[in-house]
Amino acid sequence: MLTLFHAPRSRSTRFLWLLEELGAPYRIEKVDIFRSMSGTGARDPRNPHPHGQVPALLDDGVLITESAAIALYLTDKFPTAGLGPMISDPHRGPYLSWLAYYAGVLEPAVTNLWKQRQDDQDKAQYAALDERLRTTLEKQPWLLGEQFSAADILFVSLLQFARQMLPAHAVYDDWLARANARPALARALAKDDLS
């Protein structure tokens, strides 16, 4: 049984969404992450994440942390759902690239923007990020073309939290609207509110 260590309205919410999209059996273990955010108080002993953060996923004693790793792990574990191309699929390379791009480029660029500590290199990287995303989505509905994937979940979940972090452009609003219309997201948000 999969266990998602979860804090409502956090980065782990995207994995409620992914698990619902996959149709995977799972249970939710609600944990407190406020200690790790504030740096004070005691760490939640129920949370196995090495830094006391979320998301963390436990699968038969195996701990997986970090959003891109969890997305890849789950889509490989449940291949028939079609949310992550398998090794023989020509979309596999782009899929892995988008997962890595999320972790290595998008999160740091948006975090620096949010914390208002962008230098010239950060601004150039942010502009390149905007250009790559925008031009991709101007040609196709999802990051992998016609196929919705876990990579879309990672990117869109950031837009759901902080739409203002990417420049105003209809292509982002349309992408967000398509994703927000998915039934699995509605089920995930209902569980997020109950957890």
Confidence of residue 43 (pLDDT cuts 50, 70, 90): confident
Q: 31: alpha, beta or left, given left = phi > 0 and alpha = psi -120 to 50?
A: beta
Global model pTM greater than 0.85? yes
Q: Residue 35 has what pLDDT?
A: 60
| Distance in angstroms (rounded) separating the CA atoms of residues 109 and 125 | 7
Looking at this protein, which amino acid is placed at residue 68? A
User: pLDDT tens for residues 58-109?
Assistant: 999 999 999 999 999 999 999 999 999 999 999 999 999 999 999 988 887 7
Backbone φ and ψ of 38, nearest 5°: -90, -20
Please report where in the chains the tokens 């990417």 appear, as a residue.
166
Question: What's the mean pLDDT when you consider all of the chain?
Answer: 89
| Distance in angstroms (rounded) separating the CA atoms of residues 143 and 140 | 7
